[in-house]
Chain A
Amino acid sequence: MSALARPEVDEPLLSVRDLHKAFVRRGGLLTPPVRIAAVNGVAFDLPAAKTLALVGESGSGKSTTARLVLRLLAADRGTVLFGGTDWMALGLHELNARRREMGVVFQDPATSLDPRQSIADIVGEPLVIHRLGSRVERRERVVRLLAAVGLPASALGRKPHEFSGGQRQRIAIARALATEPRLVVLDEPVSSLDVSVRAQVLNLLLDLQRDTPSRPAYLFIGHDLSVVRWIADRTAVMYLGRIVEEAPTDALFTSPRHPYTALLLASQPRRHPGDAAAPLRAPGEPPSPASPPPGCPFHPRCPSARPVCSEEVPKLLPHAAAEGRSVACHAPLGS
């Protein structure tokens, strides 16, 4: 079924299956500890040199998923195949040796860059850690990386606080690309940037994916749907720890099949005051991940919920009437 759905893909660069992570919130004097299923059976594929976006609201598990893939957090269970390697089975020593194959850029460059390090050290550190090149070669590479992200060589000796937010994010991107990773995790990389600077950084990400010899794939975590639509080849929508829909980005945006995707799209502010008001407004808020409802996690807010939805968790399955798309819904739209 899935082979039929995606004939062009032979072997994805990143293949995630059945990924689970629960956190335990410590109890208080009178409250028992609570188990929160932050990531609950997530599965997706990301082909080489392509971009997959994970979108969803806070608590949906999108950032946790990214951290599990990076092994910044230990998964409870699940498999991650990365370039054919069982990534979760790597011992710590081997993992550290291979971390150079994945880069990461976080949302806030003000906190993700060490304020005491010079820009040369920040960008060059991954090269030192992985013992790549001689001192002179490393220096040359750092200068080339800075040029690639649009910063002059005069930035080398300066500290992060001497740069604007947009420039700091360029520095973080240069660092993430230093070891020529095949995968870069971008966790809300433009969310803390002002509108006029955001476009510069988005253009940079696009250029780097096209022009860097290693042609990195991007796992893009975002909540701004206009940005996701612009950058991602495929998009996976998460709700309460699960992927509820996964599809080619254009198809997902033009004809959402999951009612939550439809709600998310309709909740976006209008681009132009003359545009028609979005027709769909769902009531309520996402339930707490600590006490998810039985059955489909979206059913309490879903306009098309039926009895089965409160009893059975729907599986993420290929959509019967839409090729190349998966949806986790008992009554998907457009069937």
Chain B
Amino acid sequence: MSALPVPADSPLLSVRALTIAVPGPTGEQAAVVDGISFDVAPGEIVALVGESGCGKSLTGLALLDLVPPPVRIASGEVFFEGRDVRSLPPLEKEKVRGGGIGLVFQEPGSALDPVRTVGSELVGVLRRHRGLSRSEAKAEAVRWLGRVALPDPARQMDAFPHAMSGGMRQRAMLALALAGGPRLLVADEPTTALDVTIQAQILQLLLELRRELSLAILLVTHDLGVVAEAADRALVMYAGEIVESASVGDLFDRPAHPYTRGLLASRPAAGEAGRGRRLTALAGTVPEPGLRPRGCAFEPRCPEAFGRCRAARPTLLPAGGSSESACFLVDAPTEPRR
């Protein structure tokens, strides 16, 4: 609310050279997120997609300076509406959390206070971030529960989280995350714990809320289907780095990075033709932080790797259309391959 107006063309969120470190088994620091940079524009849905351990969830938490110790942000900046979140005074930082950037998790059960009713939590958020009186906040809370399509919102005000289904808890959590009026929502695997018919409803709801509230969403997910369903743009992470950035159309039509191509190809084909045919699997597994190769982290699994990939680490380069790819094939497509 107190944030300065942002010029229309500047990004809402700007992450620069963010590095997140964990202490390794012998005490040395290993980078789980390794110098990543990206922007999110107002009203845009950006998917941060990758497998477990790639650093996508920690990146989401870092935007709010909420990385849990002993993990820590080693270097880099997070600019939200032009201000470096990490260097804000505590009171201002609290305003950004919930008031500027909202957060929802995979398992809403663990994020909701088990001994408070949903209504009382929501009233608290509205008073804290919007400065409403108790009665105003109550009316607004009921409106929010209706907005996230909880059935019988007035009655749900008095419900405890344990009495709700997973889908209802996720709706309640969305209301809590959005009631403070954030311009950006960090949604970390918001539908992963839900059944498929409920997942479809929640994704639908996210898209509606984005339209109505001009909300930007950073959608942290491992699920390419969720990316196809909901995102405008995708950042593909592998072993702590962004290896590809593209509009969702370009990502699925002409994936630029061999890892993205591998992920898309490993999905069972749709339709009758695919049944019982061996899948195109990526060989090997993701390297652990601290044990990543010196060159490209994907090189040991890459079917297209060549000499340079072992020697140096590629950075994001334009790869045609909206795509950027951290792959030497982008500018050296004619070098002999493995």
Contacts and interface: CB of A to CB of B under 8 A. Distances in A.
Interface of A: 57-58, 164, 166-167, 194-200, 202-203, 206-207, 223, 225-227, 229-231, 249-250, 254, 263-264, 266-275, 278, 281-282, 284-286
A57 B204 CA distance: 19
B36 interface: no
Contacts of A206: 276, 278
B225 A269 contact: yes
Ranked 6 nearest A-B pairs via Cβ:
A269-B225, A230-B268, A199-B281, A57-B195, A199-B266, A194-B51
B195 to A, nearest CB: 4
Contacts of B249: 273-274
A197 B285 contact: yes
Q: Helix, strand, loop or mixed for chain A's interface? A: helix
A227 B196 CA distance: 14
A269 B198 CA distance: 11
Contact of A202 (B168, B199, B253, B268): B268
B201 A223 contact: no
A202 B224 contact: no
B185 to A, nearest CB: 19
Interface residues of B, number: 48
B136 interface: no
B262 A57 contact: no
Contacts of B139: none
Given A196-B281, A285-B168, A271 B270 contact: yes
A199 B282 contact: yes
Given A196-B281, A196-B282, A199-B281, A269 B229 contact: yes
B248 interface: yes
Given A196-B263, A270-B225, A272-B228, A223 B276 contact: no
B306 interface: no
Contacts of B52: 194
Interface string B162-182: 000101100000000000000
Contacts of A285: 165, 167-168, 197-198
Interface in B181-240: 195-201, 203-204, 222-229, 231
Interface string B260-272: 0011001111101
Interface in B23-76: 51-52
A275 B248 CA distance: 12
Best-surrounded residue of B249, B268, B270, B283 (most CB of chain A within 10 A): B268
A230 B271 CA distance: 9
A3 B228 CA distance: 43
A266 B203 CA distance: 13
B197 A267 contact: yes
Contacts of A203: 278-279, 281
Contacts of B224: 195
A197 B225 CA distance: 17
A223 to B, nearest CB: 7
Contacts of A195: 51, 222, 224, 263, 266-267
B281 A281 contact: no
Contact of B196 (A231, A268, A284): A268
A273 B275 contact: no
A164 B227 CA distance: 26
B225 A58 contact: no
A230 B274 CA distance: 6
A187 B51 CA distance: 22
B228 A166 contact: no
Contacts of A264: 196-197
Contact of B266 (A198, A269, A273): A198
B154 to A, nearest CB: 18
B252 interface: yes
B322 interface: no
B252 A273 contact: yes
A286 B267 CA distance: 28
A58 B275 contact: no
Contacts of A272: 228, 252
A196 B262 contact: yes
Contacts of A263: 197
B248 A273 contact: yes
A58 B165 CA distance: 11
